[in-house]
Amino acid sequence: MTPEQMRDASLLELFGLEAEAQTQVLSAGLMALERSPTQADQLEACMRAAHSLKGAARIVGIDAGVSVAHVMEDCLVAAQEGRLLLRPEHIDALLQGTDLLMRIATPGDMAAATAVAPFLEQMARLLDPTAQAAAGRHLAPPTQTPAPALPTPTVAEPAPAPADPSVEPGPRRSAGEGGERVLRVTADRLNSLLDLSSKSLVETQRLKPYLATLQRLKRMHGQGLRALDGLKAQLDSGGQSPEVLEALAQTQSMLVETQQILAQQAADLDEFGWQASQRAQLLYDTALACRMRPFADVLTGQGRMVRDLGRSLGKQVRLQIDGEKTQVDREVLEKLDAPLTHLLRNAVDHGIEAPEQRLRAGKPEAGEIRLRASHQAGLLVLELTDDGAGIDLERLRRSIVARALSPAETVAQMSEEELLSFLFLPGFSLRDQVTEVSGRGVGLDAVQHMVRNLRGAIALSHTPGQGCRFHIEVPLTLSVVRSLVVEVGGEAYAFPLVHIERTLDVPAEAIVQIEGRQHFWHEDRHIGLVAASQLLNRPPAQGERSSLRVVVIREHDQLYGVAVERLVGERVLVVMPLDPRLGKVQDISSGALLDDGSVVLIIDVEDLLRSVEKLLTTGRLERIERGAQGPGQARKRVLVVDDSLTVRELQRKLLGNRGYEVAVAVDGMDGWNALRSDPFDLLITDIDMPRMDGIELVTLVRRDNRLQSLPVMVVSYKDREEDRRRGLDAGADYYLAKASFHDDALLDAVVELIGEAQG
């Protein structure tokens, strides 16, 4: 590439940056002028932006850009001078010109040149005859001496900004923040810098044990000196030889000197550690700040999108934004762009009514969508509201029934919250016909999925006739996560706080078991209980426990209690992604380092809950023992298979009170899956059950080499001799009729077959 070509390439790149900044000014200003066509500061800002682009395009030799910017400038000057009142059609055309200028500045957009002539013709029709003639002259590339141009744009030169803060454009790559110089740094380098700074912050914490050791040695020396003083006093009174006393005095002197050295070294190490930790914290905070951007970054073009979509649907819609300067991690901002765009489009299409409907309802003709961003407890909280009609719950009920998602009688009894949850299902839409905007069923489920990928949550509420409200909470940064660190199987794990409802100490006597699942009650809520040790494949805790440490996590309106060994405490952890060669590690999202340099794994809560559901479905969820059993105290396990809830619970309680560990299954298939998954000392089964009856189950057990020796008892309502014979012929060891069923009969039979609960 020749020096001249390199210069041209550099100028084109600068023109692209200038175009990006100035078109943002134009978009924001033109939408403000649509509401107030004579607003002087906005007219001035837009005119200067068009003038700047005209001069920049002339410098780099892009004649099409000169023509488009010039005719836009003419229109805006006419509006400034009062010769033209900007109407919606003028704003439409000027916004089209803004888009066209950005396309012209984009390398490789070959179709942009063909759109210039139609645009100039459109502008000519909108302007007065004098302006039309001027616009006609611009159809051909200018050949006269160029008008005075602005200086060549530079990366650090800020573009003019409108004075109205409500339409402040998003941050521009071509502008410095607060007049500071701006450098381009890749995201990978920022991530690397943050990773190194977080590790240095952790490394400074490793000095603490050494300081503690020095302090302990200092105390030991003090104790030694005091002991020597006592010994010397005893020897002095006993008339020991001068040599012995001299040796003791020298030893005492050495200990004093050593203690002084230790004291000085401890003080120096303490000072060094403090300074190192301060520098490391400052380095980390600075590196993290480099990743943070104002929330306005994700809003670029959103106001324009809302306006254009509203006009295409025959609606007047205004987007009001609060909290534009809220700082958020740039990675979070990038991932918020798509869900916010969808929610805004959804609000315009589904929420805001047509102007005539709004007038009939006593509302202003123009609808309003408000997006508010704020910080709250380490989270970015977004609230998106509209003043539309809200959601037609009766229509929603009909749609749920029509799609066979739930019976009509059930739907009729559902709460508003339960009904709204259907809107987040894949493929669900209230649109009867597919349009360019909606009706394809790719909607709130996709938004929810994207928010969850950010370790966040989304909730929907509405007020009939007054609009909808989406509440979104996501971390301010994906680089750090506020977590509760717990201990499971002797190892540290972290639950992100965004998923935690509360922590509890649950007394052992408060735990009940129904249908093979353990539960407890808290504040009139029924909460299922699972062991973190089983989910994470860690050994269960040993030792007697009068209560369980439980972390209560929320998934939508469902609460789950996860029993852990110990609550270590809340920590702000620097996220360290797992090596991609590991693939997806079940139930784990990432790792981090604790203050002492040890590793903690961060729980993927959604994945963890899927593991819970899988264990429940396969009947493999283990019971949490209220107290660990010592050597030689292992309890014998009994599997009860019966399709009657009453019979299952009765047998479970009888056997459990006798000391046996009892698992239950709802039919033969469920029981067969349980037998293949876990070891048992006895099988108790009914005969008549759905999917697989007791005879089939016993037959399968006797055919399985691993289970052939398993004792089997049949407990059935059928008391005929042929029924007994069928059960015993299939391989059962004992047949007990429910008609003669009573406590002693069942327990005596179990003891006869496998002995007492603890052998």
Mark whether 701 and 731 lie in a shared domain. Answer: yes
CATH of the domain at 740: 3.40.50.2300
Q: Which of 72-76, 193-197, 405-409, 749-753 has the lowest mean pLDDT?
A: 193-197
Residues 6+ apart with CB under 8 A from 556: 421
Same domain, yes or no, for 338 and 433? yes
Residue 217 has pLDDT above 60, yes or no: yes
Say whether pLDDT at 358 is over 90.
yes
Average pLDDT of span 564-570:
90
Residue 471 is predicted with a pLDDT of 93
Average of per-residue pLDDT across 680-700: 89
Residue count of the chain: 759
Instruction: Quote the pLDDT of residue 449.
Output: 85
Does residue 147 carry a pLDDT above 60?
Answer: no
Task: Give the containing element (helix H, strand E) for 404.
Answer: none
Q: What is the pLDDT of residue 638?
A: 92
As a whole number, the mean pLDDT across the chain is 79
Whose tokens are 């270590």? That residue is 568
In a domain, 172, yes or no: no
- Asked whether residue 182 is domain-assigned, the answer is no
Query: For residue 549, what is the domain's CATH number?
Result: 2.40.50.180
In this prediction, residues 493-522 reach a mean pLDDT of 81
The answer to whether residue 625 is domain-embedded is no
Q: What is the pLDDT of residue 414?
A: 87
Backbone Cα Rg of the chain:
38
183 lies in some domain: no
**Strand 599-603 vs strand 500-507: parallel, antiparallel, or unpaired?**
unpaired
Residue where one domain finishes, among candidates 259, 291, 323: 291
| Domain shared by 539 and 669, yes or no | no
Say what the pLDDT of residue 444 is: 85
Cα separation, 604 vs 499, in Å, equals: 10
Whole-number pLDDT of residue 543: 59
Under 8 Å between Cβ of 93 and 122? yes
pLDDT tier for residue 153 given thresholds of 50, 70 and 90: very low
Angle at 559 (CA atoms; ends 556, 562), nearest 5 degrees: 130
pLDDT for 362 equals: 92
Among 441, 475, 509, the domain-final residue is 475
Tokens 């019979």 appear where? 647
Looking at residue 340, which CATH number applies to its domain?
3.30.565.10
Q: Which amino acid is at 234?
A: Q
- Residues sharing a CB contact under 8 Å with residue 301, sequence separation 6 or more, in sequence order: 27
Q: Tell me the per-residue pLDDT of 444-499, one tens digit each, with 9 for 90 and over.
A: 888 888 888 887 888 899 898 899 999 998 888 777 788 899 999 888 999 988 78
Residues 34 and 148 in one domain: yes
pLDDT value, residue 485: 94
Count of structural domains within the chain: 5
pLDDT of 381 reads 92
Q: Is the pLDDT of residue 661 over 80?
A: yes
Q: How many CB atoms lie within 10 A of CB 325?
A: 10
Q: Tell me: do 263 and 316 sit in the same domain.
A: no
Single out the residue in 475, 496, 529 at which a domain terminates: 475
Shared-domain flag, residues 320 and 469: yes
Which among 288-297, 298-307, 308-317, 526-535 has the top mean pLDDT? Answer: 308-317
State the average pLDDT over residues 89-98: 92
Boundaries of domain holding 205: 188-291
The answer on pLDDT for 621 being more than 90 is: no
Q: How far apart are CA 226 and CA 252, in angstroms?
A: 9
Does 179 reside within a domain? no
Residue 107 and residue 64 share a domain = yes
Structural contact between residues 384 and 469, judged by C-beta atoms closer than 8 angstroms: yes
Q: What is the mean pLDDT of residues 233-257?
A: 72
Same domain? For 47 and 127 the reply is yes
In this predicted structure, what is the pLDDT of residue 177? 42
Most confident of 528-537, 612-621, 623-632: 528-537
Q: How confident is the model at residue 735 (pLDDT cuts 50, 70, 90)?
A: confident
What is the mean predicted confidence (pLDDT) over 139-159? 35
Decide if pLDDT at 316 tops 60. yes
pLDDT for residue 167? 36
Q: Quick check: is 176 in a domain?
A: no
Query: What CATH number is attached to the domain comprising 14?
Result: 1.20.120.160
Mean pLDDT along residues 648-669: 84
pLDDT digits (tens, 9 = 90+) for 693-731: 888 899 999 888 888 889 999 888 776 777 788 888 888
- Is the domain of 690 the same as that of 606? no
Kindly state whether residue 684 falls inside one of the protein's structural domains: yes
Question: For 134-138, 312-316, 604-608, 671-675, which range has the lowest pLDDT when averaged over its residues?
Answer: 134-138
140 falls within a domain: yes
377-399, pLDDT tens digit by residue? 668 899 999 999 999 899 899 98
Residue 195 clears pLDDT 90, i.e. is over it: no
In this prediction, residue 659 carries a pLDDT of 85
Q: What pLDDT, in 10s, does the model give residues 516-534? A: 577 888 887 778 888 888 8
Q: In what order do the strands lie in the sheet with 599-603?
A: 566-574, 480-488, 491-496, 599-603, 588-593
Q: DSSP string of 531-572?
A: EHHHHTT-PPP-SB-SEEEEEEEEETTEEEEEEESEEEEEEE
Mean of the pLDDT values across residues 552-563?
80
Residues 229 and 281 in one domain: yes
Give yes or no: residues 588 and 646 share one domain: no
pLDDT for 508 beyond 50: yes
More confident residue, 727 or 205: 727
pLDDT of 507: 85
Does residue 149 share a domain with residue 8?
Answer: yes
Q: How confident is the model at residue 165 (pLDDT cuts 50, 70, 90)?
A: very low
Q: What is the pLDDT of residue 516?
A: 57
pLDDT, residue 547, reads 77
Q: Is the pLDDT of residue 630 over 50?
A: no
Average pLDDT over residues 169-187: 52
In percent, the amount of the chain with pLDDT more than 70 equals 82
- pLDDT number for residue 442: 47
Mean pLDDT over 259-280 rounds to 80
In this structure, of 139-148, 362-371, 587-596, the range with the lowest mean pLDDT score is: 139-148
